[in-house]
Structure 1
Amino acid sequence: MPDIHVSAAIITDRAGRVLVVRKQGTTRFMQPGGKPEPGETPAQTLIRELHEELALQVDETALHPLGVFVSAAANEPDHRVVADAFALRAEAADVIVQAELAELRWLEPGDVSSVPLAPLSVEHLLPIAWA
């Protein structure tokens, strides 16, 4: 099973809600982030992706590394996603849907049923966010 390497952000607000996004042409919501460009570190990838997708300006010192997690890919059949995950804080007023994103949602703690979610989010990232 081929691997897809990504960087992903668990973004929480003051109320403990977690941001999830849905890319255009897909049905599942997931943590924001994306694939690295040549020579990028996982943190650099995430900083670039958050700027492109959500207009967030993030300094590397604001990222808290959480580890590497593996799940079935949400949008590429027969692939696994290998995600370097980071946590950071932002507020709803700070994020704007742009680039390839179709929409975003802020999930209340424990809410895994209001929108269809990617396996990585359900299996690993949301449980960490709400631990």
Structure 2
Amino acid sequence: MTQIDKLAWLTIQERRLLCVRSHGKQRFYIPGGKRDPGESDEAALLREITEELTVQLSPASLRLAGDFRAQADGKADGVMVRLRCFFADGQGSPTPAAEIAELAWLGSADEDRLSAPALLVVMWLREQNLID
């Protein structure tokens, strides 16, 4: 089994989760990305969110939400994504940058717009009564 290891930032407003869509992709995912060699989870997430959304996360506010595994969007069957998700406070208004084409605040009713890993996280957040 092949696994893609990613970090993700969970931020909620009005019971909706911030999701993003990359150029050339159809489905939305949770903002974040991969570590550079030697980079910690925290440092990688701070860097990725600044690059993708021009938001500065507060390192002291990072709180691990959990790890989620699901089929990778647009990859061969069996290629899985592991999302290590964090809550964190951010400064600045999310603005699409780098590879991000669009952002949206989504909930469980938007399942047809979400990648499989994002949907798994959204359903967990709904079970926690954090989103609709």
TM-score, normalised via structure 1 length: 0.86
Query: What fraction of aligned residue pairs are identical, expressed as a percent?
Result: 31
SS in 1 for 2:29: coil
Partner Cα separation in structure 1 for residue 80 and residue 46 of structure 2: 23
Partner Cα separation in structure 2 for residue 77 and residue 23 of structure 1: 19
Task: Quote the residue 1:121 is aligned against.
Answer: 118
The offset of 1:16, in angstroms, is 2.0
1:111 aligned partner, one-letter code: A
Partner Cα separation in structure 2 for residue 39 and residue 90 of structure 1: 24
Task: Quote the residue 1:111 is aligned against.
Answer: 109
The offset of 1:54, in angstroms, is 0.1
SS in 1 for 2:11: strand
| Structure 1 unpaired stretches of 5+ | none
Task: Quote the residue 1:5 is aligned against.
Answer: 5
Cα offsets for 1:32-80 (capped at 9, x unmatched): 0111100111121111110000001112112210122211111322311
Instruction: Specify whether residues 47 and 88 from structure 1 end up closer, same or farther in structure 2 by C-alpha distance, changes over 3 A only.
Output: same
Partner Cα separation in structure 2 for residue 89 and residue 106 of structure 1: 16
Runs of 4+ in 1 over 2 A off after TM superposition: 75-78, 88-91, 109-113, 127-130
Task: Quote the residue 2:34 is aligned against.
Answer: 35
Task: Quote the residue 1:67 is aligned against.
Answer: 66
| Structure 2 unpaired stretches of 5+ | none
Tell whether the 8 Å contact from 2:19 to 2:31 is kept in structure 1 after alignment.
yes
**Matched positions, count:** 126
The offset of 1:111, in angstroms, is 2.5
SS in 2 for 1:111: helix
RMSD of Structure 2 on Structure 1 (CA): 1.8
